[in-house]
Amino acid sequence: MKNDLFELPIPTRDGRFTARYSGKGLAEMDFPKVGRASPRAAKQNGVPATISRWHRATETALKNILAGRTAKNLPPLDLTGGTEFQQAVWRELRKISPGQTRSYGEIAQAIGKARAVRAVGGACGANPIPVLVPCHRVLAAHGKIGGFGGGLDWKRRLLAREGVSL
């Protein structure tokens, strides 16, 4: 199923991210692989012009966020893969701007399900587009770090870039 997506690399000074696009927009993003992956060249030909344009936006947005800046001109995001609940959580996450943080409980409350705090954690972990959908800005209660699917090192690094101290 995932192979219907166009996969394009994004080289940054933090490593090589991978972006995947559906016909609706950016659908997935991967952190650089720790084990230094194959340098295989993605077929740049055969990529529709629309997706090239989206990819350029993604690249700029990613680099801005990695630098702790606000991302402007995001590409369209295809989040249709999630459940209603997950999409509600992701929508809420996108309202958090750089340097800000929320707790899982605050997110739960914001989507009208104050007791679903644990499920919010699950939805964050299921987020297919980390960084652009800023799951790293969600902390546990009382400023504790919480978890992170991409590894806590990444969460700490991203927050540090945005000037958040734990």
Binding site for DNA (CB under 7 A): 82-86, 103-105, 113, 115-127, 130, 135-136, 138, 140-142, 144, 146-150
- Single-letter amino acid code for the residue at 130: P
Beta-strand relationship, 26-30 and 138-139: unpaired
30: nearest Cα among 125, 131, 121: 131
Other CB atoms within 10 Å distance of the CB of residue 44: 9
Smallest gap from Cβ 52 to DNA, in A, equals: 28
Q: Which is nearer to DNA, 8 or 120 (CB)?
A: 120
Smallest gap from Cβ 117 to DNA, in A, equals: 4
Q: Which is nearer to DNA, 9 or 128 (CB)?
A: 128
Q: Which is nearer to DNA, 68 or 146 (CB)?
A: 146
Q: What single DSSP character describes residue 41? A: P
Q: Which is nearer to DNA, 74 or 108 (CB)?
A: 108
Under 8 Å CB-to-CB from 57, ≥6 apart: which residues?
Answer: 73, 74, 75
Q: In angstroms, rounded to a whole number, what is the distance separating the alpha carbons of residues 150 and 25? A: 22
Smallest gap from Cβ 41 to DNA, in A, equals: 29
162: nearest Cα among 93, 65, 71: 65
Smallest gap from Cβ 99 to DNA, in A, equals: 17
Catalytic annotation, residues: 135
